[in-house]
Every structure is written in C-alpha cells, then in structure tokens.
C-alpha cells in the first residue's frame, strides 16, 4: 500500500502524442519525473527536441523524455513511429492520445447582439457559411480519427507491455475535453462534437478489447480550463470563464494545474489504476457539475 508501489512507473515505456507543449507536456513531464521513459510526438521536430532537452537537463527524476516526430493524422507516419518503438523497446506500457486542435470557431454564437443572430434565416446562413466540410474533417481527423489509428497501430506493443509485468495491464489514456461532455457549443460545434466522438470511441475500444480478452485498458480524461496553446499561456482568474464559456462560472475559479492532470494520468497508468477500464474522468474544477452536460 506504499505510494511508491501503488503509483510505480519505474521502467515503464510511454508515448504521448502532442507531447511537446501544453497539457501533453504536463503529462509527459509527470510520467518521466516518476521514472517512465516517455516518447513525445508531434509534427514540429524543434519543439519536441527543445522540450525533451529541458527535462533531461533538469534532473527532475530518473525517467527520460525522447522526441519522436509523428503525424497522428497520417497512417505512414504512425506506422513509422510504431516501428521505432518496436525496434528500440519491444513493448509499450502507456499510450496517451493527447494531440488535438480547436478547429473552426463561430464567435457570433455567444453574442446575442451580433447581426448574425437577427433572425433564424440569418443565423442559419451565418453558421452554414462560416465553416466548411474540410475544416470539420480536419478537426475530426486529429481529435477523433487519430485515436483509433494510433491505438490500433500500437495495440500489439501495448499487449506485450502487459505481459512484461505480472499483475499489470497496459493503458491507453485518451485526452478528451469537457467540451465533449457539455451541451453548449462554446462557439465551436466541430471541436465539441469531435471530443464527444473521442469519448465514445474510448468506451467502444475498452469494450471491444475486453470482450476479446486483450489485456489493454482504455480510459479517457476530460480536462476543463487549462493553460495551453489553444487557450492562453497564462490564465488569470478573470480569464477562467472567458476560456470556459459556461453558463455558470467554474466553481474553483482557477485553471487546472500540471500536477492535477499529470496525477490523474499517473493513477490510470500505474498499478493503482489497473482495475479501472472504459471510464472518463473529468478534471474540471466542477465545471460539468454546474453546467448542462450529458452526465
């Protein structure tokens, strides 16, 4: 029952997509600081290398961070990444599907005085003309489609990770969003619906793998307001609800911290989380408790 056993990550091999910045970096840093060898992926090599170097030079723990360029919307790139992990490690214990983007935004939706909201015809036309099929396809590709393709590409390595440690099961952790849980559009129908798709995809993957007796757990974490490239580098109290765009303010009156998101990932990825499967955990300061949601 000791903490160093309950949440042991020593010797674990992890992969975090979109791991060079924002929430992905918070997660990668937390895993590595507690003993894991973490591969961070993204499209920008220089960003990944800079992030990895900053951790490896800081001596924060006995883990490490390795940069690896991989485009989660490209099957060839995903396959190339899988081959790197297969040849260098031979197994994988933790997969964090974190890569994501915001997509098209229709700002007039939150302004009742906007000319686009003059009447139903005007509003409908504004919503129709302001976004495109191509933009929606792009946001679904990275926020939802990538989870399916990255997870299935690495599934064999994840199963080997479970066989590597008695009593332990490898874990896929999908970073969704409270935007996929609440019923508000927050000005971006595409982003919110793509995150809802990611949440349901998590449940389907967990169920299918469990029914097929594949020893890989699949869960998701839905962050609330956090500092990232999609919000602000620094979120002060006056900006919390600008980001959250809720009907009711965030009860905690602050953004989430790196410790809170990394700690939730560590729980799911460690021995302490091995009896948890197919679940989504909202780490949102009470946002979904006070705003209309599907829960």
Would you please indicate which residues are annotated as catalytic (active-site) residues? 177, 191, 195
The rounded distance, in Å, linking the Cα atoms of 16 and 174 is 10
Distance, CA of 150 to CA of 88 (rounded, Å): 18
How far apart are alpha carbons 194 and 142 in whole angstroms? 9
CA-based end-to-end distance of the chain: 32
- Give the integer Cα–Cα distance in Å for 67 and 52: 6
DSSP 160-195: HHHHHSTT--EEEEEE--GGGTBS--TT-HHHHHHH
Whole-angstrom Cα distance, residue 57 to residue 90? 26
Name the burial class of residue 67, with classes exposed (0-12), middle (13-18) and buried (19+) by CB atoms within 10 angstroms of its CB: buried
For residue 17, what are its two tokens? 């997509």
Helix H or strand E segment including 13: strand 13-17
């Amino acid at each position: 029952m000791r903490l160093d056993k309950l949440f042991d990550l020593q010797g674990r091999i992890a992969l975090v997509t979109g791991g060079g910045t924002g929430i992905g970096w918070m997660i990668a840093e937390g895993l590595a600081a507690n003993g894991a060898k973490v591969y961070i992926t993204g499209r920008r090599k220089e960003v990944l290398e800079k992030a990895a170097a900053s951790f490896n030079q800081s001596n924060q723990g006995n883990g490490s961070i390795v940069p690896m360029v991989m485009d989660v919307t490209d099957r060839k790139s995903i396959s190339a990444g899988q081959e790197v992990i297969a040849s260098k490690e031979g197994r994988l214990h933790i997969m964090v599907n974190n890569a994501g983007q915001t997509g098209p935004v229709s700002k007039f939706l939150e302004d009742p005085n906007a000319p686009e909201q003059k009447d139903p015809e005007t509003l409908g036309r504004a919503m129709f003309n302001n976004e495109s099929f191509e933009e929606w396809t792009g946001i679904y590709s990275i926020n939802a489609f990538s989870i399916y393709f990255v997870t299935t590409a690495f599934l064999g390595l994840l199963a080997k990770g479970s066989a590597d440690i008695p009593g332990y099961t490898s874990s896929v952790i999908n970073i969704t969003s409270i935007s996929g849980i609440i019923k508000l559009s927050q000005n971006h129908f595409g982003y919110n619906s793509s995150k809802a798709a990611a949440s349901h995809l998590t449940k389907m993957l967990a169920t299918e793998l469990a029914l097929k007796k594949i020893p890989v757990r699949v869960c998701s974490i839905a962050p609330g307001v956090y500092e990232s490239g999609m919000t602000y580098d620094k979120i002060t109290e006056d900006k919390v609800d600008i980001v959250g765009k809720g009907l009711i303010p965030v009860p905690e009156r602050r953004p989430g911290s790196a410790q809170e998101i990394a700690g939730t990932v560590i729980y799911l990825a460690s021995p302490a989380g091995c009896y948890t499967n197919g679940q989504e955990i909202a780490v949102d300061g009470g946002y979904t408790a006070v705003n209309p949601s599907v829960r």
